[in-house]
A and B are shown apart, each in its own frame.
Chain A
């Protein structure tokens, strides 16, 4: 189905990816699209990789995205970008949080965190990299990093006409609404 758009969010358990995709799909549903979302969890809370896939359009069948099909890959952790890049459409975009989470083999000194992934990917496709964690920390709460990423994502894929601030008002707890709206705006500023 050619009119269906595909968004792939990847990262590590505990980074708020599930909530980010909830915000995203709520906004898309409000905008009148058919939406499907698939997530893989279970062992994720125990430090494993997490992915959620959001598909939207007039009519969506499969809830999962195929290889070479994602219009945008949103990566919350640098190394995870490499693991999922084959799912990106060759004309797609990548938005990356410049943030490293060391996995078990790296922590025990058996392997080293890979270098040069971003440089290699930038040669091959349209990549935007920025430090969402630092932006979230400056705003006063590192946990808003996921909403910074949502901001960058909706700008990059041209969905900034949807009222995302309204979606935030209805999805996050009242005392966190203001900071999340700021995070959303900051995220949108990261993408030209």
Chain B
């Protein structure tokens, strides 16, 4: 059977066919759909959303030690969070095969950096595979698990946005039931204390030698002989781009197994071609190792190390070719930046926060990072998951220590709070800063497209479970001042901010209202209702002051001709934020 699948869907299918029985992940673009597509294989694979990537990998490690074939998936920066268990599991080795899928984001379509995680394989000394299309994404899962078990190593399964989110035709296979390997207690292998670690490190180095031999012989690294004037070494999506540009006018060493590199195969290939190019996206990962082995090549002096690669860049860099295009003056076009949706529960909160003076806002990763955009501009920092609270704590301590009269408000979403915000809040509770922490609880993981989390009451595979109560959690770790408010009520938001900003104690505000795009659960309907309204501008009363447009709602348009505001009734959901912001009572709510 053939299907048209994204790389992520293909990895999920690969996990099914390869007999994986345990999968764990934290959602993050471009990796999210891997677990979403493993979820439906309920009969055969247990799959879960973990609170963060470290937990996801550790859970997969536990399943692997127990003897199951296991998979953990995350975006590139998630591997930073999971690096601690990765580096040590690299020493102990596996029982059931384990793969860690790293979905990198060259070009930063939806990420804060474009780190090249191939370096993690070399750094942690684990084997690595890199698929270059959806078919390989499926097939390499099985190959990687076999390598993992044969060589006693975790395998880094490295993808990029274009592999994850591009679709291609995939030929399916059958599921192979591999069952569970026998678990035997083995203290020298699995207890990573210094005495054992010293022995394990020796084994790791021996393993790398065996893996390099394998790398030289495996079909995952293959040579395609054509014209030998140009030889190209490439991997992942860059290989497809190279083929697009050179077709059969060059020979290729196509690498699917990229750590350790097949140095003997590379040398043989280099010896037979006249000019050797290394075409890779982001860092000169392959190039540096080739040069270190004394082989001359052309790489990053022509191929950029910044941003996403594409066939045009390669054609221009190596062949000096560019296609003719239609000229058009783009300066007359208007940008289309992403905005918070009409009815987004974050809008009312950020609208009020933007009016508070002398405040530093430490932000976090999620839809609410859009609070930094115009016209709200209500955010000063965004570093990484969980940093809003801990960086906010540090900033408040520094301001207080130096007598700077400034207050810090940390804002973080519900899922991000569970991810790494809880430990940051422990820092505030323990070391007592009067930082104001605001947990924007929209009852779902919003940004990545609505995944369940510990606060929603449901699991990835649809089981109804007790939900973690955020106010109780905050109180139990020692925050006494905890308020839960409705972020759509502007006076409630303003009052809560004023009270907490005046306090010398740590405090937490929880804004509780579901994401406007969330499909409501029965519990949501019971708590928040499900009525639909729209708001309307009373043309006669509108003075054209534009204050409603300062909320940044995409449903509100200012008509410059008649100098009055207008609300798009197809988009409006009647959240009433503009109605409350209007100083002239010129907006009213009408039933549907």
Contact = CB atoms under 8 A, between A and B. Distances in A.
Interface of A: 1, 12, 25-26, 29, 34-49, 60-64, 66-69, 79-80, 82-83, 85-90, 102-109, 111-114, 117, 120-121, 124-125
Query: Dominant SS at the A interface?
Result: mixed
A54 B166 CA distance: 10
Contact of A47 (B133, B330, B341): B341
A45 B341 CA distance: 8
A29 B323 CA distance: 28
Contact of A38 (B165, B244, B330, B552): B165
Contacts of B2: 29
Given A25-B167, A67-B312, 10 more contacts: A35-B4, A47-B339, A63-B237, A67-B323, A68-B322, A79-B334, A90-B326, A103-B334, A104-B373, A105-B335
Contact of A85 (B328, B374, B546): B328
Contact of A124 (B328, B335, B339, B550): B328
B173 interface: no
A142 B118 CA distance: 46
B293 interface: no
Given A36-B166, A38-B166, A90 B325 contact: yes
Given A48-B337, A49-B336, A109 B323 contact: no
A44 B166 CA distance: 16
Contacts of A105: 334-335, 337
Contact of B324 (A35, A90, A124): A90
B326 A124 contact: yes
Given A46-B338, A67-B325, A104 B554 contact: yes
Contact of B241 (A43, A61, A82): A61
A104 B558 contact: no
20 contacts: A25-B4, A38-B166, A44-B338, A46-B341, A47-B341, A48-B337, A60-B168, A61-B240, A63-B133, A63-B237, A66-B311, A67-B325, A82-B328, A86-B325, A103-B335, A105-B334, A105-B337, A108-B550, A111-B334, A114-B334
Interface size class on chain B is 35 or more
Nearest to B313: A66
A108 B558 contact: yes
B575 to A, nearest CB: 16
B546 A61 contact: no
Interface of B: 2, 4, 29-30, 109-110, 133, 162, 165-169, 237, 240-241, 243-244, 247, 310-312, 315, 322-328, 330, 332-341, 367, 370, 373-375, 449, 517, 546, 549-550, 552, 554, 556-558, 560
A48 B109 CA distance: 12
A37 B557 CA distance: 35
Query: Dominant SS at the B interface?
Result: loop
Contacts of B162: 38, 63-64
Contacts of B370: 46
B549 A114 contact: no
Contacts of B337: 47-48, 103-105
Contacts of A121: 326, 328
Contact of B166 (A63, A86, A102, A120): A63
B169 A69 contact: no
Contacts of A102: 557
Contact of B332 (A36, A106, A114): A114
B165 A83 contact: no
A107 B449 CA distance: 26
Contact of B168 (A12, A63, A87, A107): A63
Contacts of B558: 107-109
Contacts of A88: 325-326
Contacts of A49: 336
Contacts of A104: 336-337, 339, 373-374, 552, 554
A90 B325 CA distance: 6
Nearest to A53: B166
A108 B549 contact: yes
A134 to B, nearest CB: 15
Contact of B333 (A41, A68, A79): A79
Given A29-B4, A46-B341, A107-B549, A66 B334 contact: no
Given A61-B241, A79-B333, A107-B557, A35 B325 contact: no
Contacts of A103: 334-337
For the complex of A and B, the 4 pairs showing the least CB-CB separation, nearest first, are: A68-B323, A42-B110, A63-B166, A46-B338
A91 B217 CA distance: 47
A124 to B, nearest CB: 5
